[in-house]
Amino acid sequence: MRNSFITGVTTGAIIGTAIGMMAMPQVDRSTKRRMRKSGKVMKNMAEDMYDNMVKWMR
């Protein structure tokens, strides 16, 4: 069961990346910059939440 979940998540990530790469060239420079910045913000938020959960579980 776990193996099929991981396979599904990996497949979805690969398909999503491929579609994103096909759509990205049609987006202007400022939109790409905004998307990169939003991605970094979400990554930092996820890292902070993870760190907080680890500290809370101790």
pLDDT tens per residue, range 19-44: 877 777 777 788 878 878 888 888 88
- The whole-number pLDDT of residue 2 equals 61
What is each CA distance from 13 to 6, 8, 18, 26, 52, in whole angstroms?
Answer: 11, 9, 9, 21, 26
Q: Is the pLDDT of residue 45 over 80?
A: yes
Contact by Cβ (8 Å): 24, 32: yes
User: Is residue 3 packed enough to be buried (19+ CB in 10 Å), middle (13-18) or exposed (0-12)?
Assistant: exposed
**pLDDT at position 1 over 70:** no
